[in-house]
Chain A
Amino acid sequence: MIRSEFRKLGSVRSPWLLLAAGPLIVVAGITGLIQSGGNVHDPAVQSRALAHVGLAALFTLLFGIMAVAGEYRHGTITDTFLSSPARGRVIAAKLASYGLVGAAAGLVSSVVAIGVTAAWWAAEGGSFHPGAGGTWLTLGGGLAANVAFAVIGVGVGALIRNLVAAVAAALAWIALVEGIAGQIAGPGPARWLPFYASEALGRTNLSAAGHLLPQWAGGLVLAGYAAAFAAAAVVTTLRRDVT
């Protein structure tokens, strides 16, 4: 069943274009950091550059959404369930294969991030130290965020089977809802929300850094969201009619 999922992925172009956007964001983000005056002699700036890997998780989220909602959009879900009437196993296969691709995407983004950061540091006369400033923790957290958001995406796509609505809901949540909720509820409760948790995990520190959870706690919270979305995907998919 996992092989069938990979054949689905391998035979169309759109998911790969989407995944390619992740490393491009990493390149653009790191370049922007340097162009806006980032100090290459500061180890903290090095970590901030590498933290763009966590931002690339936006694309594994959209990729995961396409895994399920895209099948409903094109009507291929009918054939998928005719082949495998055990729908729980279908969703499990999607979670596994898309989680794996999310990990691969995170790895590519990490390699790209190291390469681009090293290149800028060399160009600006700094010295890039792979071990300094928690580099590995930043990259590992970013990679984990890519996996978690691919899984969350599969869940969102199963819950909101309309592809356009699912993508819109996910983008609106990230761009608007968490920010507004954070202002209403204050930073204490807001740091438990999924995107804030992923910032802690990927050490992105876009928001006021002091209000985020510690990295390990962000990772646990995000893993909890991923598990909850995975479970919700299975439960709703078992229950709903496919018309």
Chain B
Amino acid sequence: MTDVEVRDLTKTFGRVTAVDGMSFTVPAGKITGFLGPNGAGKTTTLRMALGLVRPSAGEALIGGVPYHRLARPRRSVGALLEATGFHPGRRARDHLRVLTAAGGLPGHRVDEVLGQVGLASSAGRRVREFSLGMRQRLGLAAALLGDPPVLLLDEPANGLDPAGIAWLRGLLRGLADEGRTVLVASHVLSEVAQTADHVVIVNEGRLRFAGPLRELGETSGALESAFLNLTAVSR
């Protein structure tokens, strides 16, 4: 059981405060939706949790340890950040082979995760031939490569068609049922309402709500009305 804990996390870029004293816990064994309007600080928070952006204050801990102190980060955390992190001339299988070499992972994982995300038949194709949805699947394959107990996914449904979104929902549910910690940043509320057990809602860099989804109400429109209330611009 590996929780993700964000404590008083703050990031300022020049005079802009992108994340402002954020604290919440992402529980293991559940799917947690990370919600907020564009520019609310979701991506910056994820990047701080992954050691890519240095916090101005506070910390993010993965099982009690900051990311840069993890002994084998790819075995502890799988991350999907954006669909652009590929060399267009590299084949899908080679992309993952680079990562197994860098992460000290066994080579047989490459074909396993390609099968898991439905790209086994495209393993030998160059990424420039991939659709956005296929790139998204390859990014998910990279996140799953180290069989990690924690998954931090930024807009994982981006570019997936309806069948792909249904597939993703099943994948995430299976991962959470295995006891993993699954955080899904998204601004597609209907998607999160169908998938998540727990939600974290942020706006303008600040935490607005963190807790079980059902606390926001049981009706189908409850998440949307709660979200709009919580993120209403305070002017």
A residues in contact (CB < 8 Å) with B: 1, 3-4, 7-8, 10-14, 70, 74-76, 78-86, 241-243
Residue B102 CB within 8 A of the other chain: yes
Q: Contact between A82 and B74 (Cβ–Cβ < 8 Å)?
A: yes
Q: Contact between A76 and B103 (Cβ–Cβ < 8 Å)?
A: no
B86 contact from A4, A76, A80, Cβ within 8 A:
A76
The number of inter-chain residue pairs (CB within 8 angstroms) is 83
Residue B68 CB within 8 A of the other chain: yes
B-side interface residues, number (CB < 8 Å)? 33
Q: Contact between A11 and B70 (Cβ–Cβ < 8 Å)?
A: no
Interface string of B94-124 (1 = CB under 8 A from A): 1101110111000000000000000000000
Are A81 and B91 also in contact (CB < 8 A) when A75-B82, A86-B68 are?
no
Q: Contact between B102 and A83 (Cβ–Cβ < 8 Å)?
A: yes
Q: Contact between B51 and A85 (Cβ–Cβ < 8 Å)?
A: yes
Residue B201 CB within 8 A of the other chain: no
Cβ of B79: which chain A residues have Cβ within 8 Å of it? 82
Main secondary structure of the interface of B (DSSP, over half): mixed
Cβ of B50: which chain A residues have Cβ within 8 Å of it? 82
Q: Contact between A12 and B87 (Cβ–Cβ < 8 Å)?
A: yes
Cβ of B202: which chain A residues have Cβ within 8 Å of it? none
Q: Contact between A3 and B85 (Cβ–Cβ < 8 Å)?
A: no
Q: Which of B56-92 contact A (CB under 8 A)?
A: 67-68, 70, 73-74, 77, 79, 81-82, 84-91
Q: Contact between A4 and B98 (Cβ–Cβ < 8 Å)?
A: yes
Cβ of B77: which chain A residues have Cβ within 8 Å of it? 82
A1 contact from B94, B97, B102, Cβ within 8 A:
B102
Instruction: Return the chain A residue nearest B84 by Cβ.
Output: A75
Q: Contact between B67 and A85 (Cβ–Cβ < 8 Å)?
A: yes
7 CB contacts below 8 A, A to B, read A4-B98, A12-B89, A14-B89, A75-B84, A79-B85, A82-B51, A242-B52
Instruction: Return the chain B residue nearest A12 by Cβ.
Output: B89
Q: Contact between B91 and A11 (Cβ–Cβ < 8 Å)?
A: yes
Q: Contact between B85 and A76 (Cβ–Cβ < 8 Å)?
A: yes
Q: Contact between B70 and A85 (Cβ–Cβ < 8 Å)?
A: yes
Most buried by A among B52, B67, B98: B98
Instruction: Return the chain B residue nearest A79 by Cβ.
Output: B85
Cβ of A86: which chain B residues have Cβ within 8 Å of it? 68
Distance, CA A167 to CA B90, complexed state (A): 22
Q: Contact between B89 and A13 (Cβ–Cβ < 8 Å)?
A: yes
Are A4 and B52 also in contact (CB < 8 A) when A75-B82, A75-B85, A86-B68 are?
no
Q: Contact between B53 and A242 (Cβ–Cβ < 8 Å)?
A: yes
Are A82 and B73 also in contact (CB < 8 A) when A1-B102, A242-B47, A243-B53 are?
yes
Are A7 and B94 also in contact (CB < 8 A) when A74-B86, A76-B85, A83-B99 are?
yes
